[in-house]
């Protein structure tokens, strides 16, 4: 049976472990200059309705390094943009490709592709979730701290797709997650409720960012105005100003706490330049690890397909 990656919540503990171990393996091989091409002859369709830097480059380069090929498609390139049903497109693409990654607004579209495709479908980002990002972040935490078990992560800012994905991860893995969001900008209610029910180490939502970061070993933030929210930018800057990850807030966390941001970053808005460029920032390491983790995901899903 084919396997998709639409949400972290669908992964079992063994899946997380396999992805992290494989990511470390392919990263080591790349650093040693060793050619590793388990996906030779495989092809990946990349459907992008949203602009991208890290997701596109990391998947495209990753597929190349694994010996396969990636085909970039935007809504102007495929007939879905002209009214063809997702069901028909998914069925046809399944005859040509070995896997599909989709980066789009509507999570329901990714689910529909997965429903009708006979090949693996990967959620490269929706307005609802960003699973590949969080898997890469967790891998980075393991690299830097030796484990993710029992680690206290504080997420500060908008309760967006990244916050939802952190909640799904906390529901599956033994991490302690705290969030600080302004009222009216909370994560998805159903995901938050499920995470509070399932999280072994606990999930807590605060209004005061200073409360959320106490004891945190990881401080995490994201842009305050995600794609599609640009019209709200000025209002969001005003509302989120107290949630900026800066030197004062960082001093309240555990000494040596890691600072993470999924990028793109708007300097001196959600994060100060001093913290972003400071010694506790692992932001560019986590960006690099998108490549290695997504190679592990591609190998896991596409190599298994006969």
Q: Which of 4, 290, 292, 294 is catalytic?
A: 290
Going by C-alpha positions, the residue among 162, 164, 165, 133 that lies closest to residue 59 is: 133
Q: Which of 22, 49, 65, 133 is catalytic?
A: 133
**172: annotated active-site residue:** no
Handedness of CA 250, 251, 256, 257 (dihedral sign): negative
**Residues near 277 by Cβ (< 8 Å), separated by ≥ 6?**
none
**106: annotated active-site residue:** no
Going by C-alpha positions, the residue among 125, 175, 178, 168 that lies closest to residue 148 is: 175
Spatial distance between the Cα atoms of 175 and 199, rounded to a whole number of angstroms: 8
Query: What's phi and psi for 203, nearest 5 deg?
Result: -130, 130
Q: Which of 222, 236, 244, 261 is catalytic?
A: 222
Query: What's phi and psi for 200, nearest 5 deg?
Result: -75, -30
Spatial distance between the Cα atoms of 268 and 287, rounded to a whole number of angstroms: 20
**103: annotated active-site residue:** yes
Tokens of 291: 């490549």
**207: annotated active-site residue:** no
Give me the residue label for tokens 């990511």.
23
CB 48 within 8 A of CB 73: yes
- Per 3-state DSSP, what percentage of the chain is helix, strand, and coil (rounded to 5)? 45, 15, 35
How, if at all, do strands 218-221 and 258-261 pair? parallel
**286: annotated active-site residue:** no
Report which DSSP code applies to 6. Answer: S
Going by C-alpha positions, the residue among 152, 150, 145, 159 that lies closest to residue 189 is: 159
**130: annotated active-site residue:** yes
For 108: left if phi > 0, alpha if psi spans -120 to 50, otherwise beta; the answer is alpha
Q: Which of 22, 103, 176, 292 is catalytic?
A: 103
Q: Which residues are catalytic?
A: 103, 130, 133, 222, 262, 290
């Amino acid at each position: 049976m084919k396997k998709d990656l639409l949400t972290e919540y669908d992964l079992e503990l063994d899946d997380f472990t396999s992805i992290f171990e494989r990511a470390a393996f392919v990263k080591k091989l790349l650093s040693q200059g060793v050619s590793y091409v388990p996906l030779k002859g495989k092809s990946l369709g990349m459907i992008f309705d949203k602009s991208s830097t890290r997701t596109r480059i990391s998947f495209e380069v990753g597929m190349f390094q694994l010996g396969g090929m990636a085909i970039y498609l935007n809504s102007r390139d495929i007939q879905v943009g002209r009214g063809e049903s997702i069901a028909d497109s998914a069925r046809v693409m399944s005859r040509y490709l070995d896997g599909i990654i989709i980066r789009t607004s509507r999570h329901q579209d990714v689910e529909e592709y997965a429903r009708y495709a006979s090949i693996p479908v990967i959620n490269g980002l929706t307005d609802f979730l960003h699973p590949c990002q969080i898997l890469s972040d967790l891998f980075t935490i393991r690299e830097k701290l030796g484990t993710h078990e029992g680690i206290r992560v504080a997420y500060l800012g908008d309760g967006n797709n990244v916050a939802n994905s952190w909640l799904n991860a906390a529901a599956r893995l033994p991490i302690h997650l705290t969030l600080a969001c302004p009222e009216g900008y909370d994560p998805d209610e159903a995901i938050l409720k499920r995470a509070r029910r399932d999280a072994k180490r606990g999930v807590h939502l605060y209004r005061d960012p200073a409360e959320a970061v106490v004891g945190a070993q990881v401080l995490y933030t994201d842009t305050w105005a995600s794609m599609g929210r640009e019209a709200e930018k000025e209002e969001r800057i005003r509302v989120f100003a107290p949630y900026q990850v800066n030197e004062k807030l960082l001093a309240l966390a555990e000494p040596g706490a890691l600072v993470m941001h999924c990028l793109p970053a708007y300097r001196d808005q959600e994060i100060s330049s001093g913290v972003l460029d400071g010694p506790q920032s692992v932001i560019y390491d986590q960006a690099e690890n998108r490549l290695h983790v997504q190679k592990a995901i591609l190998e896991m899903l596409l190599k298994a397909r006969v």
